Structure 1
Amino acid sequence: MSEKKQNQSEIEKEAAAKMAVSFVKDNDIVGLGTGSTAKFAIEELAKLVKGGLKIKGVASSVHTEELAISLGIPMQELGKTSHIDISIDGADEFTETLDLIKGGGGALFREKIVASLSNNRIIVTDSSKKVEKLGSFKVPIEVVPIAYQYVVNQLEKLNGIVKLRYKEGKIFITDNHNYIVDVAFGLIDEPQKLAESLNQIDGLLAHGLFVNLTSKVIMAKDGQLYTFSKD
């Protein structure tokens, strides 16, 4: 990506994040996503907290929790949270029917729990993330290490091309002490059907197909904001 396009992408992400934050109300419990787009939302929320907004945040990753605390956002543990009023997160791909691929940052399991607990689930993106069909971005999958080879075998039976994720020359380890595999399935005609098949694999903790887990996508493009929802 050229520097100009990258700068434009950052401007779009920030604009979409600010709009999403406008839906947060006093005393809300707010799910905080992980990644570059969610970071803009967290920074905007921190400004509002300093101005008197009363919220509690619930983080989808250790990194997000550390960032939110450093910016003065009061936090509570995900494992002790029974409901979330609104969550704001990014996506690696989305369609107009609100199916997503998430997990490029490796936080997909906790992101999915946050989304599942949320009453209002908002995704913020720049325009590069909108696709006709999911699948150009590989599907991230979190795998329990002792089940790694078994899970790979099962993914290959689903015609997936599996690649173990590395970072800085070492196997990438999630906040939950598991592996991530990035799986190419080609363009996905039926995300719900594939998600159901993945859900049946023992040792697969979570996959990056988010189906029926989004209320609204806010996308910024060329200085304009676009909203996609099922409402």
Structure 2
Amino acid sequence: MDMKKMAGDKAAEYVKDGMVVGLGTGSTAYHMVNAIGERVKNGLKIQAIPTSKATEAQARELGIPLLTIDEVDHVDLDIDGVDEIDPQFNAIKGGGGALYREKVVATLAKEVIWIMDESKLVDHIGAFHLPVEIAQYGSKQAMARMEECGWKPVLRVRDGKTFVTDNGNYIADLHLGAGFDIEDVREKLGTIVGVLEHGLFLNMCKRMIVGTSSEGVRVIENPSK
């Protein structure tokens, strides 16, 4: 069975009547949204906030009632995928380019669940590039500052063109390597003009749900939550 679908289907079971639910973005979240849509079709009463235009279109097609972020002051449950996560529940997200909206929704959430296949579990994050959303205006200068920090930023390109996020911004992918100094990078990014948000999601989730090839679905609880 598809490990991503296993994780997405399991996560949908945590959604309860009356919740405001954050709907993540990406290949694993896609299965979760489908599973929630099926439950809505069968009578589940929720409202949801999508974290990207792609997820919004999917949710509308499934008949999931939607809200905008400005219509809420909290989110009951946010479910989203990750690109990497370590044993301390520190994650890198943003491979799909939706990191800004994903972080806004996750920060508002009372409870966060990260969903993934087993390949996303790592000892140290950083082998996957760290996405950083930057403003178009002054992007060259922001890239230069990141280069000065030794981070090897690469402006994301898709289909031969500079990738533009749903918010109209660019993505710089930093190639840091596994085991980089998380706090040092986070702190320095906060000083660079033009950096709007980064893909470090540190100890934010209450649990991770992992689809595996040999153990079915694993639910790993965060003891600090």
Aligned counterparts of 2:187 and 2:221: Cα–Cα separation in 1: 23
Aligned counterparts of 1:133 and 1:33: Cα–Cα separation in 2: 23
Paired position in structure 2 for 1:93:
84
Post-superposition, which runs of at least 4 consecutive aligned residues in structure 1 deviate over 4 A?
Answer: none
Contact between 1:99 and 1:191, CA under 8 Å: does it hold in 2?
no
Q: Does 1:150 align with 2:141?
A: yes
Q: Does 1:46 align with 2:28?
A: no
**RMSD of aligned residue pairs (Cα, Å):** 1.2
Task: Give the superposition deviation at 1:78.
Answer: 1.5
Contact between 2:130 and 2:173, CA under 8 Å: does it hold in 1?
yes
Aligned counterparts of 1:70 and 1:17: Cα–Cα separation in 2: 18
Contact between 1:96 and 1:228, CA under 8 Å: does it hold in 2?
no
Q: Does 1:192 align with 2:183?
A: yes
Aligned counterparts of 1:190 and 1:41: Cα–Cα separation in 2: 32
Q: Does 1:228 align with 2:225?
A: no
**Larger CA deviation: 133-142 vs 195-204:** 195-204
Q: Does 1:112 align with 2:100?
A: no
Contact between 2:91 and 2:203, CA under 8 Å: does it hold in 1?
no
Aligned counterparts of 1:172 and 1:51: Cα–Cα separation in 2: 38
Task: Write the deviation string for residues 35-58 of structure 1: whole angstroms up to 9, x where unpaired.
Answer: 110010000000100111000010
1:72-221 matches, within 5 Å, as 72-221=63-212
Runs of at least 5 residues in structure 2 that lack an aligned partner in the other structure: none
Task: Give the superposition deviation at 1:189.
Answer: 3.8
Contact between 2:208 and 2:221, CA under 8 Å: does it hold in 1?
yes
Task: Write the deviation string for residues 117-139 of structure 1: whole angstroms up to 9, x where unpaired.
Answer: 10110000001111111111000
3-state DSSP of counterpart to 1:119:
coil
Supply the AA of the counterpart residue of 1:164.
Answer: L
**Larger CA deviation: 130-139 vs 186-195:** 186-195
Q: 1:185–1:81: structure 2 CA closer, same or farther, 3 Å change rule?
A: same
3-state DSSP of counterpart to 1:197:
helix
Aligned counterparts of 1:149 and 1:164: Cα–Cα separation in 2: 10
Supply the AA of the counterpart residue of 2:221.
Answer: S
Q: Does 1:19 align with 2:10?
A: yes
Aligned counterparts of 2:192 and 2:204: Cα–Cα separation in 1: 20
Paired position in structure 2 for 1:4:
none
Contact between 2:126 and 2:180, CA under 8 Å: does it hold in 1?
no
Aligned counterparts of 1:51 and 1:201: Cα–Cα separation in 2: 48
Aligned length: 222
Contact between 2:164 and 2:170, CA under 8 Å: does it hold in 1?
yes
Contact between 1:20 and 1:41, CA under 8 Å: does it hold in 2?
yes
Aligned counterparts of 2:157 and 2:147: Cα–Cα separation in 1: 20
Q: 1:99–1:182: structure 2 CA closer, same or farther, 3 Å change rule?
A: same
| Percentage of pairs with the same residue | 38
Task: Give the superposition deviation at 1:227.
Answer: 2.3
Contact between 1:191 and 1:211, CA under 8 Å: does it hold in 2?
no
Contact between 2:114 and 2:208, CA under 8 Å: does it hold in 1?
yes
Aligned counterparts of 2:108 and 2:219: Cα–Cα separation in 1: 22
